[in-house]
Structure 1
């Protein structure tokens, strides 16, 4: 089968489309014939070892041999392991792997998959898992979101942000989205009650307005991010898509938040996504009810994944960038 691999660190061009063996499956895994995928900052951070901390996951000096890039996917179940329940060959599914979705087929643990919502295309479904898991778990689990709260999403027009705005509305809160001028209409269309155009207004000057702030961008100091929160408000740090290079990259903001948390009146908490089938099913229900819809900026063919990563890395995508296996 065809798959995108890399044997050295660098820009997305280090990825090479190669013929590799089709993966076997463990007893609790499912072989999925990939119909669509999507790209995430996670992908170009791993291929480029940006930050250097990423080398701990895929190889200190160079990537481990045989690694296939990609996390998000949607496709059709081709084979199931002996311990798999609830899924069978022919099922249309979506979900996530640690590595391997930029391929014609991938082995996926059953607890990282769910049945694809009927109303979604494969490209839409493949754009859900990593971004929506991060938004959901950041708001609900880390942020302890509650109906009636005032919520601010910094980075409202990106992959995670477009899900965060819609999910915050689904939890019956008053939502403010921070984005650029060109993305303001998009964020309003997702249900935001208020939009802050960061080219015209600094949202950190809005003192004491919000109960919950989820920061996806990572371009403000902790002191500034705390200012628009109420005295007992909660700051949720996703990491920071703007952080590039260095040893820690976006993890530096996470570390600063962890160290500061015991010394301030507001809650400062950090989030990283934890893919699981229960949350995928919850998201699928919201998508079937049309309370949440994936936003796709553009779609690239499977043969142009490096170009898709370059586009995403420039930082101006509205929502997600999808990959299709269709010609």
Structure 2
């Protein structure tokens, strides 16, 4: 099968398209023919081996897993005997944080996949797993969002952010969203009740009061959470220093601030699929690349100016599958 491989850390230029052996089916796993992928910040972090301490998980001196990629959507080719929720021919989507998705086939645990529902396409559903799960779990699992509460979402126009705004509205929240001036109209179409342009107003001086603060961009200070919110969830960090500062202050304070990494599971993935089918979530795909340009897609997402998501489609498959 064709796959994008990496034998050293670096930028998109280290990715090579080559023929490799197809993965073998394992217990508790399904084999999926990949139709589409999406690009995430996690992909370029893993590709570059940054921050450096992440290499203890992904390979200290060189990558442990040669094939990059987390998000995918495709068709089930094989199912292990102990898997009951899926069958051959099912259209599925999911994620593998261990990599392996930027290939024609991927073998993954069944528990990290969900079924695609009628009326949804492979490219759009490939854009859901990491970003959609992060948004859903930030709001519901870790933010404990309740209907009628007010939510402040920093970084509302990107992959995670544009899901977070829509999911918050679907669960009955009043949303104040932060983005650049050029994305105000886009974020309003997502359902935000109020939009703040960070290039017009310094959010570190903002004095609004909210039940829940969600930071998908990763540049809010601990003082911002305490000043504006009753509780908070941070999804990422802009620098290692910022991460250390935030986590240290959280450790010595009673303010309820959560930090987490989203965990894929069938239940949450299928909750997202239902919200999409019902029109509660619309996935905005800013760019779609053919699979041969997966390195270019990674480079585009690394610039961190993406509105919504970036998808990659395996040759001719989205139209015929």
Residue 111, structure 1, aligned to residue 111, structure 2: yes
User: CA contact under 8 A between 1:77 and 1:93: conserved in structure 2?
Assistant: yes
User: CA contact under 8 A between 1:204 and 1:228: conserved in structure 2?
Assistant: no
Instruction: Quote the offset at 1:216 in angstroms.
Output: 1.4
Name 1:77's counterpart in structure 2.
76
Query: C-alpha distance in 1, partners of 2:175/2:220?
Result: 20
Query: C-alpha distance in 2, partners of 1:22/1:157?
Result: 37
Name 1:303's counterpart in structure 2.
292
Name 1:94's counterpart in structure 2.
93
For 1:275, which of 264, 269, 272 is the aligned residue? 264
1:193-212 paired onto structure 2 within 5 Å: 193-212=193-212
Residue 237, structure 1, aligned to residue 226, structure 2: no
User: CA contact under 8 A between 2:221 and 2:246: conserved in structure 1?
Assistant: no
Query: C-alpha distance in 2, partners of 1:119/1:226?
Result: 43
User: CA contact under 8 A between 2:135 and 2:164: conserved in structure 1?
Assistant: yes
TM-score, normalised relative to structure 2:
0.94
Name 2:277's counterpart in structure 1.
288
- Would you say how many aligned residue pairs link Structure 1 and Structure 2? 315
1:99-178 paired onto structure 2 within 5 Å: 99-178=99-178
Question: Which range moves more in the overlay, 129-138 or 264-273?
Answer: 264-273
For 2:313, which of 298, 318, 324 is the aligned residue? 324
Name 2:319's counterpart in structure 1.
none
User: CA contact under 8 A between 1:37 and 1:323: conserved in structure 2?
Assistant: yes
User: CA contact under 8 A between 1:239 and 1:253: conserved in structure 2?
Assistant: no
Query: C-alpha distance in 2, partners of 1:309/1:163?
Result: 20
Query: C-alpha distance in 1, partners of 2:259/2:306?
Result: 24
- Cα deviation code 1:11-42 (max 9, x no counterpart): 11111111000000112100000000001111
SS in 2 for 1:131: helix
Instruction: Quote the offset at 1:265 in angstroms.
Output: 5.1
Superposed CA RMSD: 1.4
SS in 2 for 1:213: strand
- Cα deviation code 1:234-290 (max 9, x no counterpart): 1111122x33xxxxx4xx545433332354453111121111001011111111111
User: CA contact under 8 A between 1:237 and 1:253: conserved in structure 2?
Assistant: no
Query: C-alpha distance in 1, partners of 2:251/2:57?
Result: 30
Query: C-alpha distance in 2, partners of 1:271/1:17?
Result: 33
SS in 2 for 1:21: coil
SS in 2 for 1:138: helix
SS in 2 for 1:117: coil
Query: C-alpha distance in 2, partners of 1:278/1:253?
Result: 33
TM-score, normalised relative to structure 1:
0.93
Query: C-alpha distance in 2, partners of 1:219/1:205?
Result: 13
Instruction: Quote the offset at 1:120 in angstroms.
Output: 1.8
Residue 49, structure 1, aligned to residue 38, structure 2: no
User: CA contact under 8 A between 2:225 and 2:231: conserved in structure 1?
Assistant: no
SS in 1 for 2:281: coil
User: CA contact under 8 A between 1:204 and 1:225: conserved in structure 2?
Assistant: no
Name 2:303's counterpart in structure 1.
314
Residue 7, structure 1, aligned to residue 34, structure 2: no
1:208-223 paired onto structure 2 within 5 Å: 208-223=208-223
Instruction: Quote the offset at 1:79 in angstroms.
Output: 0.6
- Cα deviation code 1:196-227 (max 9, x no counterpart): 01110123323251111111112232213432
User: CA contact under 8 A between 2:123 and 2:313: conserved in structure 1?
Assistant: yes
